[in-house]
Amino acid sequence: MKFLFLSILHLLAFPALSKTFTIASPNEMCELKVETNSTLLNYQLSYKGKTVLLPSQLSLQLKGYTKAKWDFDSCSQTKFMNHDWNAVWGQKIQMNDPSNLSVFHFHHPSLGMLKVEFQVFDKALAFRYVLNGKACLQNGVLEAEQTQINVQNDGKAWWAWADYNTQEQLFHETAIQEATWVNTPVTFRNSNGLHLAIHEAALQKYARMTLKRDSKGVFTTDLVPWKNGDLVRFNRSLTSPWRVILVGENASDLLESTIILSLNEPNRIKNTTWIKPISYIGIWWEMHLGTKTWTEGPNHGATTERAKQAINFAATHRVGGVLVEGWNTGWDRWGADSVFDQTTSASDYDLKEIARYAKWKGVELIVHCETGGDAPFFEQRMDSAFALYRRLGIRYVKTGYAGAARPIGEHLFGQGMVEHFQKVVETAAKYELMLDVHECIQPTGLERTWPNLMTGESVRGQEWEAWSAGHPASHTALLPFTRGLAGPMDYTPGIFDVDFSNRKEYTKWNGQEKEGILPRVHTSPIHQMALMVVLYSPLQMAADVISNYEQSQEWKWFLSVFQPDYVNTKILYAEVGGPVVIAREQKNGVWVVGAIGTDKTHEIEFSWDSLHLEEFHQTYVMVENPKHPDQLLLRGAEKKSSTEKVVLQPGGGTVWVIIPRPKRILFDD
């Protein structure tokens, strides 16, 4: 077994003698090499002999103790970590991510003990800092985490600009050198052909990470600060998130990784029978279109009558739930403090009656808790609101933080909001409620520990197409390889009326629809349908207004067979910046397969072999009508070979539904 020896730049002091140590992954595919001397540590990573990370350095600084020197005590025996576990729900249920773990112990006579833990996987590296401080660190402050991740500069990067308050941005495809300050996940392809992505896992009681390139071209962690400049405040003990570098020989390797999940703690909810993935529709898109309003008035969207209409549609077409936004008071005072009341209905909406009606129809009601960014006020009301929903039989809650974080001057992704989001998740678990969190920090795998944390936004989603210049098709094609690597994503796809021909009269409401802009969805209806499969979310929305779905037999058929409760996922084709084809097996044995392209025409070929289909299946394929691209055609298909050739038009896609037939029963004479 190979061993690793570690030192920390500035904080940790070592003997002057330089040493080099290595640790390999269980199958020796990844190898971490570390060189130490009296002043610095260089670590570098390789995969099957190819360079992944060039020499990089580690550093921590505590406020008031920047000159402290830590002494190395010992390096633990390398330990095999199985990471073999079953998820409550997910893209697949069975996980197996073995790694080799080494822990390095340091001490300071006045400050306490510091550990640095490394896990080397066959296709990833993860490491974190664990500080157990003495009484002098009762009000400790992390002043800097200068963790370097030295990516080669000869290759491509897919990235979005770092931002302390939003991830609702378009992604860029550039040379690596042009990615100067980025959000994570960030994805790279080196000139040696390797793919890698950088993110974090198990973010709790800490600040969210961004990455900033220094003058030498090396990425260094940049944490979201408190208003006064503090990065992380702690009481003696401090555990950083795992810093994770995913590695793959191809793009599919990144999509198939479950390592971020496996680095989180096991499930803490004993009884999970109430946790269930569903599809949903809602009273939502019409407000973004400007044909209805969140506020009360003649065009109010969330009325008792309209909610019942949506519930009826869901019940008829086997859609799992209905989201209602704008149902409560406070929307007319947007932007002020302490205004959103998550327990009081608008005058034309009866929450109790709608909850009763939905239960009678066998449809889940998703209640919306907007905060306008006022997390402190929401915390005051959260228990009473969640208790009310539980009494009414409501199980699903969508939260929102569309506004400046409170107190004003704090950031939405700083430590304070990380702790707030955690409090919401744990409080929801107490009342057996599932969460869809919008305007949130990107996922870091906490859904393993708290499986009631179903999905989140943290993406420039569908609503931008309603009132701005929108998205090119390349945006949605990149999402699986960027934001999607973090975890479930509530992009809210599924628009049928992509050119808004059915919108008629509307009101421009948020200032984004400027002169010369003609908003529309910049992909086709079949692309939108395929996104419901490709962009993973266990709460998956079909976002269009129900009157549009009522005009399409194809959409009504798809909604009736689509259930985002999966047991397995297969990547059939994947190219970062290009097409992607993903197959997902529902619990009922039905495979749903989505293919999406970019702004260009793509001719691709892939194999069905990995699905291991039995003989008796009926396959249906949904394609664009060649005469009317904004319409759909559904037809039966017979797979005559194990491979499939597809032409994806610009902004287009394809959907397959593979349904198992009843097996024939053979009788003996």
Domain CATH for 130: 2.70.98.10
Nearest CA to 130 out of 119, 141, 143, 115 is that of 115
In tens, the pLDDT along 329-348 reads 999 999 999 999 999 999 99
**One-letter identity of residue 322:** V
Residue 312: give its domain's CATH number.
3.20.20.70
DSSP code of residue 480: G
| 285 plus 179 within the same structural domain | no
**Given a cut of 70, is residue 40 above it in pLDDT?**
no
Question: Is residue 34 situated within a structural domain?
Answer: yes
Residue 640, pLDDT score: 62
| 284 plus 253 within the same structural domain | no
Mean pLDDT of the chain: 93
Provide the domain limits for residue 74: 12-262
Question: Is residue 530 situated within a structural domain?
Answer: no
| 334 plus 253 within the same structural domain | no
Tracing tokens 């994570």 back to the chain, one arrives at: 184
**Given a cut of 50, is residue 522 above it in pLDDT?**
yes
Task: Average the pLDDT over 349-378 and give the result.
Answer: 98
Out of 127-136, 311-320, 608-617, least confident range: 608-617
**One-letter identity of residue 419:** E
Residue 649: give its domain's CATH number.
2.60.40.1180
**Given a cut of 60, is residue 271 above it in pLDDT?**
yes
Of 420, 453, 486, the residue that ends a domain is 453
Question: Is residue 408 situated within a structural domain?
Answer: yes
CB 224 within 8 Å of CB 417: no
| 103 plus 148 within the same structural domain | yes
Residue 516, pLDDT score: 86
Of 240, 262, 284, the residue that ends a domain is 262
| 195, two tokens | 């793919």
| 254 plus 372 within the same structural domain | no
**Given a cut of 50, is residue 11 above it in pLDDT?**
no
pLDDT band at 18 (very low <50, low <70, confident <90, very high): low
Residue 305 CA to its chain's centroid (Å): 34
**Separation between Cα atoms, residue 181 and residue 56, nearest integer Å:** 17
| 363 plus 225 within the same structural domain | no
Domains identified in the chain, total number: 3
Residues 6+ away with beta carbon under 8 Å from 515: none
The strand pairing partners of 36, in sequence order, are: 19, 41
Residue 188, pLDDT score: 97
| 214 plus 307 within the same structural domain | no
pLDDT band at 37 (very low <50, low <70, confident <90, very high): low
Nearest CA to 513 out of 523, 503, 502 is that of 503
CB 11 within 8 Å of CB 70: yes
Question: Is residue 542 situated within a structural domain?
Answer: no
**Given a cut of 50, is residue 665 above it in pLDDT?**
no
**Separation between Cα atoms, residue 554 and residue 627, nearest integer Å:** 16
| 243 plus 179 within the same structural domain | yes
Phi, psi of 311 (to 5 degrees): -65, -40
Tracing tokens 């931008």 back to the chain, one arrives at: 464
pLDDT band at 514 (very low <50, low <70, confident <90, very high): confident
| 437 plus 396 within the same structural domain | yes
DSSP code of residue 457: -
Question: Is residue 526 situated within a structural domain?
Answer: no
Overall residue count recorded for the chain in this entry: 669
Nearest CA to 302 out of 321, 328, 272, 280 is that of 328
| 284 plus 201 within the same structural domain | no
| 57 plus 41 within the same structural domain | yes
Task: Average the pLDDT over 424-435 and give the result.
Answer: 98
3-class secondary structure, 532? helix
**Given a cut of 60, is residue 266 above it in pLDDT?**
yes
Out of 201-210, 251-260, 360-369, 604-613, least confident range: 604-613
In tens, the pLDDT along 22-31 reads 899 999 999 9
536 exposure class (CB count in 10 Å sphere: 0-12, 13-18, 19+): buried
Question: Is residue 271 situated within a structural domain?
Answer: yes
| 210, two tokens | 């961004």
Residues 6+ away with beta carbon under 8 Å from 12: 6, 41, 69, 70, 71, 72, 106, 114
Rg (C-alpha) for the chain, rounded Å, is: 25
Out of 34-38, 95-99, 191-195, 268-272, least confident range: 34-38
Task: Average the pLDDT over 29-58 and give the result.
Answer: 85
Question: Is residue 505 situated within a structural domain?
Answer: no
**Separation between Cα atoms, residue 245 and residue 425, nearest integer Å:** 27
DSSP code of residue 395: -
* Count of CA atoms in the C-beta half-sphere (13 A) of 480: 33
**Separation between Cα atoms, residue 245 and residue 260, nearest integer Å:** 10
Q: Inter-axis angle of helices 415-430 and 375-391, to 10 degrees? A: 10
Number of Cβ within 10 Å of residue 144's Cβ equals 17
pLDDT band at 506 (very low <50, low <70, confident <90, very high): very high
| 225 plus 255 within the same structural domain | yes
CB 304 within 8 Å of CB 350: yes
Residue 663, pLDDT score: 52
Question: Is residue 46 situated within a structural domain?
Answer: yes
- Single pTM value for the model: 0.95
Of 219, 245, 262, the residue that ends a domain is 262
DSSP H helices, 279-327, are 285-289, 304-316
pLDDT-above-70 percentage for the chain: 95
Residue 15, pLDDT score: 42
